Amino acid sequence: MHILITGGAGFIGSALIRYLIKNTDHQILNIDKLTYAGNLESLVEVESNPNYTFQKIDICDAAAIEQSFSEFQPDLIMHLAAESHVDRSIDGPSEFINTNIVGTYTLLEASRKYWQSLDQHKKSQFRFHHISTDEVYGDLEGTIDLFTELTPYAPSSPYSASKASSDHLVRVWYRTYGLPIVITNCSNNYGPYHFPEKLIPLVILNALDGKALPIYGKGNQIRDWLYVEDHAKALYKVVTEGAIGETYNIGGHNEMQNIEVVKTICHILDELKPQSNNQSYEELITFVEDRPGHDLRYAIDASKIKNDLGWTPVESFESGIRKTVEWYLNNLDWCRRVQDGSYQRERLGVKT
């Protein structure tokens, strides 16, 4: 099949592409605007594969999208392109509205026109897979409640509101126009090639540099952590086997308080890369003022994808976080190039 992936230079998108290139014979087209979070160095190991192609395209550019569809003739669309950092959305929501809402609309319209032009067989095989987040549900008050596919939407940030909006648009294009869609809402991802502003890589790299490990509030916010390679497998399962019009929640079955996550990373680093002063990295933990509207708890009920499609995560948090810390220790050059911006300057043809 021909699979068009938007946002394939991002964290989850690049993991998905690496998985598909290594484990299938599909033709993959990666469309990415290459904003600050888009890093083609995350795809170095597959970039020379004949089944992989990259195009620098903004999903808000309707003409470029339509031309790409016409040339590539996709069988499946997997839409991951999005602005995704909550703090950035609070400081500057306009990019989130533009990319996550207007961009999704533009992609849906291009997909609808393309799908309607196909012959009956190709039309029956086509799927538009929208990859979203559990943050659209808001947060959970109880300690045992879980997000299901029927949980009402109650977003808490400009980011989650923009993703909720895009989810609604995708469902409308199915109900109104018949576009064959599937939607997935995932919990917090972690793993190799994660952008360093996110919690887990930020803690790892700050610790190695002897910098403060900032924790919002008391660090008692609970998240369900999903190893990114498990997520990639789930996405492929949904787009190839999921029922049209359905939503599937994807979770890691790993609920942890943020403070527990940080302390776990510190303990692994104490073992693998002890400080010269023999102090624990925990000594670097610093509590900072909580972010506005910070959700307290996310937790996914992933029983539907297990029962309907047979998917469950392979990695526990203990195994996945150890793999993640080891990857960062072994790939500090990649991290430093992101931190100092050289990955962007070289991409733009500026010598470093």
- Whether the pLDDT of residue 348 is over 60: the answer is no
Going by C-beta distance under 8 Å and a sequence separation of 6 or more, which residues neighbour residue 330?
Answer: none
Q: Are 47 and 66 in contact (CB under 8 A)?
A: no
Catalytic residue among 32, 83, 134, 255: 134
Residue spans per domain, the chain: 2-193+226-251+297-304
Least confident of 79-93, 155-169, 313-327: 79-93
- Tell me, what's the pLDDT at 292? 84
CA-closest candidate to residue 220, choices 267, 287, 266, 160: 287
Return the DSSP state at 40.
G
145 counts as catalytic: no
Report the length, in residues, of the chain: 352
Taking the C-alpha atoms of residue 153 and residue 174, their distance in angstroms, rounded to an integer, is: 19
For residue 142, name the pLDDT band (cuts at 50, 70, 90): low
Annotated active-site residue 105? The verdict is no
Q: Which residue has the tokens 């909550």?
A: 86
Coil, strand or helix at 56 = strand
pTM for the model: 0.94
| Span 259-289, pLDDT tens digits | 999 999 999 999 999 999 999 999 999 999 9
Q: What percent of the chain has pLDDT over 70?
A: 97
pLDDT digits (tens, 9 = 90+) for 44-53: 999 999 999 9
Active site (annotated) includes residue 134: yes
Find the catalytic residue in 52, 105, 159, 281: 159
Q: Which amino acid makes up residue 252?
A: G
> What is the CATH superfamily name and number for domain 2-193+226-251+297-304?
NAD(P)-binding Rossmann-like Domain (3.40.50.720)
- pLDDT of 171 over the 90 cut: yes
Name the amino acid, one letter, at 6: T
346 has pLDDT over 70 = no
For residues 109-129, give the mean pLDDT: 98
Tokens matching residue 183:
């939607």
d(CA 121, CA 66): 21
Q: How far is CA 238 from the centre of its chain?
A: 15
pLDDT at site 57: 98
Positive or negative, the Cα torsion across 83, 85, 144, 301?
positive
Which residues contact residue 61 at a Cβ distance below 8 angstroms, ignoring those fewer than 6 apart? 106
Rounded distance, CA 62 to CA 68, Å? 10
Q: What is the pLDDT of residues 191-207, one digit of tens each?
A: 999 988 889 999 999 99
Distance CA 158, CA 179 (A): 27
What pLDDT was estimated at residue 143? 65
Q: Which of 58, 135, 255, 295 is catalytic?
A: 135
- In angstroms, the first-to-last Cα distance of the chain is 39
pLDDT tens by residue, 17-40: 999 999 999 999 999 999 988 999
pLDDT-based confidence at 243, cuts 50/70/90?
A: very high
User: pLDDT for 155-170, tens place per residue?
Assistant: 999 999 999 999 999 9
pLDDT of residue 351: 34
